[in-house]
């Protein structure tokens, strides 16, 4: 291996890029002082990793970058590349040519190392050249200062060059690394030892807690298996019992409502009857007063009539009265009275018949009206029943959310206990009826999304659903909902388009806290009046938004259309609206039914009165028929008597025409008629009152029975309600225990814990297990996981501790082995160098003796090196007392002794012979030639004797101030060049 080339650019005085070619043998670099020839050796030392600025003759590392001159600008980069021929693989690198490069940038003092143009670390370069003789502290680079310092160095400092020669540097480096590793291992071992000690203190109590926790979990698992089954059984039975109680209560409530309604109707009817009885009593009293007056009038008139009739009969019967005309006049008066009475009774009979016909017709009409009322009430009752059934269905859908997804219902069952679950989105918004279909269509499944306070609540709810296999749900956390709005340009454009009604969120109202949720879901959904305009709006906005119409059609984002017949039953908004309508309609129907019942009651009462009146008229008619017949017979007798006396037929029409004065009879007839009417009215009203009395008694009896039944039903309702409340409390208790203790829903528990058990035994076992669990006292469930962690960590740490102990032992063993190797190699090499040193010294000094010694023979690894030399004819006890030339020659003797024992592939000698006289320079040069076959020498010199032995010479000059140039020269030219430059004082 040898150095083929050095490439320099921007390094110290090498401002321009310079390539210096080398060859095996001796290469000389000559030039006057200050021309920059020593920068060559600095460049090699710098590339090989020199970090000491002082060794590079600077104050900071940036000083190696060309600093500029009067004519040249400063460089920002220093770069040096060493190119080695590695055909013999001296360097452990699988290339025939190896390039080592170092760069330094002025900006930030950033440095780079490259190996064959690939970036690497300084350590990679150091490891590559280790023990090859190329180290920056080895014999590969020897300067005049090194030579002069060799003799003056402390023994410990002098040892370094011998270690490099002995090839123990890599072992020493490894030992240093091993010692550092050993120190780190000890530190780690101490630290891990402390950790293991702390873990040992924790693990024992944790183990007890863990065993206790495992016992608890085992008991808890057993308890869960049994108690959940018991709870499922109890809940199932309680639900069945509640359902049965609910049915009974429903039936009882219906009966109670019916009884309340019936009692109310009967009480109302009874009150009405009492009012009517009171009115009838007043009317009867008034009629009785009138009847007394009428009877007095009839009595008076009858008395007068009797008197008249007696007078007439007396006149007819009187034997003294022979005046036939006078008799005829009396008979005629009697006949006129009889005709008047007969006509009066016939008129009354006809009038009564007419009244009967009118009452009969009225009764028929009343019957028809009552039938119509019954039909109307029946129809209303059916409608009310139908609406109540629909109301129950809608209440179940809207309030109980029976048609919601199972996951939504499961989460909402927790909302009473968790205020952070705000509600179902569809239940939190309101809108006008005309927008129901549009908003339902716009939201779709989002109607059943659940609004929560934050993302945490949503994740907890999802975990609850997952753990209980209770279904799925979508959540809208308030904290994360960001409004989605129309773009600014579209907010300006859309209002100018036909059919644009607004953004759907503008037609929805709600609590302000969910405003962002509404804007997130509906803030960028457009509302149009019809599908044609919706399509045009979508095109105008490049189909960026969903557009919905009032009748539920959609133009989707992207332009696709959705439409047809909407299923209104699926929308909670429409269902709520329908429930409101059903409730209003039901109220209207119930009011109408109450009105119809009142009207029916009035009609039935009126019908009863008509029936009573008709019956009285029928009785009066029958009586009048008898009276008319009697009057007719009287009329025939009177007519016969008159005709017999007058011997002529009598036309009764004459008597009807009122030609005969029968004023008394007319008055009597009127009085009798008035009396009979009053009598009839009183009788009718008394009979009516009696019927009311009977009805009142029946109502009172019925009310007593109804009130008794109502009291019994109320007692049953209270009893069942109390039982239902107890059952509900038990059910809630069971459900809460399932939820709180076992984090289960009833649905999940019933699916997974449905076993046939003896409930009595199971309940007893639950009590026993609970006692055992309570007996455990406080249980740290985290101790199981903590124990596992601590135990695992203890095992890991203890394993690491054992590994570290083992590693420590191996490191100590490796250090001992390296010590043995270093002692053996160093001792062997030292002895060889000592032998060669004496020979070279004698040859260079022409006699005398030389020897190197250990300062501490008992500590070969750290001992310093003393030099004991005796030039011929001199006796000097201390090497520092020799002259500069002698010190240099001693150092050179040692250098060549080392090279004889451990040849190096390359050696740069920078004016090491400067202090020697001519004769010694020649001896030095001969030694160079002797070693040049195995070592490549690069000699920076201005001594002729050295130059004469060089195979290749380079001249260093500064044609421009501050900039070094290298030129290849012949030996004669080099000598003349060197002398001329030296004599010229350049």
3-state secondary structure of 416: coil
Partner residues linked to 11 by β-bridges = 14, 65
120 among annotated binding-site residues: no
Long-range contacts of 377-383 (CB under 8 A, 24+ apart): 377/593, 377/596, 377/597, 377/600, 380/589, 380/592, 380/593, 380/596, 381/593, 383/589
Please tell me whether 205 is known to bind a ligand.
Answer: no
Judge whether 406 and 471 are in contact, CB under 8 Å: yes
Q: For residue 571, give the nearest of 387, 398, 406, 452 by alpha carbon.
A: 398
567 is in an annotated binding site: no
Distances (CA, A) of 118 to 48, 113, 509, 818, 907: 16, 8, 70, 33, 26
Q: In whole angstroms, what is the distance from residue 451 CA to residue 456 CA?
A: 12
- Is the CB of residue 30 less than 8 Å from the CB of residue 956? yes
335: which 2 tokens? 């006949």
Residue 33 marked as a ligand binder: yes
Tokens for 58, please give them.
């600077």
| Phi, psi torsion values for 562, nearest 5 degrees | -130, 130
- The response to whether 32 counts as a known ligand-binding position is yes
CB–CB of 964/53 below 8 Å? no
User: Which helix (H) or strand (E) element contains residue 260?
Assistant: helix 169-317
What's phi and psi for 528, nearest 5 deg? Answer: -120, 165
Q: Residue 801: which of 812, 813, 793 has the closest Cα? A: 793
Is 732 annotated as contributing to ligand binding? Answer: no
* Cα 609 to Cα 133, 273, 597, 618, distances in angstroms: 145, 12, 18, 14
Backbone angles phi, psi at 509, to 5 degrees: -120, 155
Which of 158, 578, 190 lies closest to 398, judged by CA?
Answer: 578
Q: State the DSSP code for 862.
A: T
413-434 burial: b if 16+ Cβ within 10 Å, else e: bebeeeebbbebbbbbbebeee
Give CA 390 to chain center in angstroms: 37
Total residues belonging to the chain: 986
User: What are the beta bridge partners of residue 7?
Assistant: 19, 81
Residue 58: exposed, middle, or buried by beta-carbon count in 10 A (0-12, 13-18, 19+)? middle
d(CA 769, CA 761): 12
Cite the beta strand spans of 511-549 per DSSP E.
525-528, 546-549
Q: Does residue 838 have a known ligand-binding role?
A: no
State yes or no: 649 annotated in a binding site: no
Which residues does the annotation place in the binding site for ATP?
Answer: 32-39
Which residues does the annotation place in the binding site?
Answer: 32-39
């Amino acid at each position: 291996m040898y150095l083929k080339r050095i490439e320099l650019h921007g390094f110290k005085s090498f401002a321009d890029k310079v390539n210096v070619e080398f060859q095996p043998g001796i290469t000389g670099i000559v030039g006057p002082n200050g021309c920059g020839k020593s920068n060559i050796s600095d460049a090699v030392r710098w590339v090989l990793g020199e970090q000491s600025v002082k060794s590079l003759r600077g104050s900071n590392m940036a000083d190696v970058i060309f600093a500029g001159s009067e004519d040249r600008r400063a460089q920002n980069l220093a770069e040096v590349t060493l190119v080695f021929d590695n055909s013999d693989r001296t360097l452990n690198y699988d290339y025939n040519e190896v390039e080592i490069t170092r760069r330094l940038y002025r900006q930030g003092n950033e440095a780079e190392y490259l190996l064959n143009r690939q970036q690497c670390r300084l350590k990679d370069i150091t490891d590559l050249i280790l023990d090859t003789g190329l180290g920056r502290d080895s014999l590969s680079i020897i300067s005049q200062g090194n030579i002069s310092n060799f003799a003056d160095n402390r023994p410990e400092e002098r040892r370094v060059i011998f270690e490099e020669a002995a090839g123990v540097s890599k072992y020493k480096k490894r030992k240093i690394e091993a010692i550092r590793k050993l120190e780190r291992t000890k530190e780690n071992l101490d630290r891990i030892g402390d950790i293991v000690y702390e873990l040992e203190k924790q693990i024992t109590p944790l183990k007890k807690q863990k065993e206790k926790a495992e016992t608890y979990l085992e008991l808890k698992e057993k308890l869960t298996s049994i108690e959940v089954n018991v709870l499922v059984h109890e809940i199932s039975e309680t639900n069945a019992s509640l359902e049965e109680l609910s049915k009974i209560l429903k039936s009882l409530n219906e009966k109670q409502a019916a009884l309340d309604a019936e009692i109310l109707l009967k009480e109302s009817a009874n009150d009405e009857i009492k009012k009517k009885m009171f009115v009838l009593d007043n009317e009867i009293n008034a009629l009785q007063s009138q009847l007394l007056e009428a009877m007095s009038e009839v009595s008076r008139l009858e008395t007068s009539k009797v008197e008249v009739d007696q007078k007439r009969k007396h006149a007819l019967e009187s034997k003294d009265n022979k005046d036939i005309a006078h008799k005829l006049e009396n008979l005629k008066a009697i006949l006129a009275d009889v005709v008047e009475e007969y006509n009066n009774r016939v008129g009354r009979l006809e009038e009564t018949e007419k009244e009967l016909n009118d009452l009969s017709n009225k009764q028929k009409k009343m019957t028809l009206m009552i039938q119509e009322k019954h039909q109307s009430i029946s129809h209303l009752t059916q409608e009310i029943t139908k609406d109540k059934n629909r109301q129950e269905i809608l209440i179940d859908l809207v309030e109980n959310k029976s048609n919601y997804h199972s996951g939504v219902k499961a989460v909402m069952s927790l909302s009473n206990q968790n205020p952070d679950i705000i509600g179902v989105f569809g239940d939190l918004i309101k809108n006008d009826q005309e927008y129901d279909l549009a908003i339902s269509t716009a939201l779709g499944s989002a109607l059943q999304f659940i609004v929560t306070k934050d993302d945490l609540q949503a994740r907890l709810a999802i975990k609850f659903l997952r753990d209980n296999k209770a279904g799925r749900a979508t959540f809208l956390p308030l904290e994360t909902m960001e409004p989605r709005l129309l773009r600014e340009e579209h907010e300006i454009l859309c209002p100018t388009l036909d059919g644009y009604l607004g953004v759907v969120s503008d037609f929805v109202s709600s609590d302000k806290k969910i405003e962002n949720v509404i804007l997130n879901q509906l803030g960028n959904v457009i509302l149009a009046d019809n599908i044609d305009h919706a399509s045009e709006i979508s095109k105008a906005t490049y189909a960026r938004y969903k557009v919905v119409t009032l009748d539920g059609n959609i133009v989707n984002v992207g332009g696709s259309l959705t439409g047809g017949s909407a299923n209104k039953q699926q929308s909670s908004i429409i269902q709520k609206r329908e429930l409101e309508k059903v409730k209003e309609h039901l109220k209207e129907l119930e009011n109408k039914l109450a009105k119809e019942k009142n009207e029916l009651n009035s009609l039935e009462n009126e019908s009863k009165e008509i029936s009573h009146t008709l019956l009285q008229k029928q009785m009066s008619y029958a009586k009048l028929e008898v009276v008319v017949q009697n009057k007719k017979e009287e009329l025939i007798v009177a007519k016969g008597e008159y005709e017999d006396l007058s011997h002529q037929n009598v036309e009764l029409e004459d008597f009807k025409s009122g030609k005969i004065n029968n004023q008394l009879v007319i008055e009597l007839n009127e009085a009798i008629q008035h009396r009979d009417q009053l009598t009839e009215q009183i009788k009718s009203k008394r009979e009516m009152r009696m019927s009311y009395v009977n009805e009142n008694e029946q109502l009172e009896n019925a009310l007593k029975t109804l009130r008794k039944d109502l009291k019994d039903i109320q007692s049953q309702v209270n009893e069942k309600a109390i039982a239902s409340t107890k059952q509900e409390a038990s059910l809630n208790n069971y459900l809460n225990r399932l939820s709180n203790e076992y984090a289960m829903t009833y649905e999940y528990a019933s699916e997974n814990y449905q076993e046939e058990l003896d409930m009595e035994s199971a309940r007893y076992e639950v009590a026993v297990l609970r006692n055992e669990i309570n007996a455990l006292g406080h249980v740290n469930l985290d101790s199981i996981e903590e124990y596992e962690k601590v135990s695992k960590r203890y095992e890991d740490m203890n394993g690491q501790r054992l590994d570290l102990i083992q590693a420590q032992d191996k490191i100590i063993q490796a250090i001992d082995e390296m010590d043995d190797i270093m002692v053996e190699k160093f001792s062997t090499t030292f002895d060889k160098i000592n032998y060669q040193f004496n020979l070279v010294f004698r040859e260079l000094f022409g006699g005398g003796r030389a020897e190197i010694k250990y300062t501490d023979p008992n500590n070969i690894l750290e001992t310093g090196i003393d030099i004991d030399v005796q030039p011929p004819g001199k006796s000097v006890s201390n090497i520092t007392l020799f002259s500069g030339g002698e010190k240099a020659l001693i150092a050179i003797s040692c250098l060549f002794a080392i090279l004889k024992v451990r040849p190096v592939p390359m050696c740069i000698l920078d004016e090491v012979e400067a202090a020697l006289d001519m004769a010694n320079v020649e001896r030095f040069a001969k030694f160079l030639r002797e070693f040049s076959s195995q070592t490549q020498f690069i000699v920076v010199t201005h001594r002729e004797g050295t130059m004469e032995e060089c195979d290749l010479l380079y001249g260093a000059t500064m044609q421009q101030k501050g900039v070094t140039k290298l030129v290849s020269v012949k030996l004669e030219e080099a000598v003349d060049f060197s002398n001329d430059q030296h004599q010229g004082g350049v």
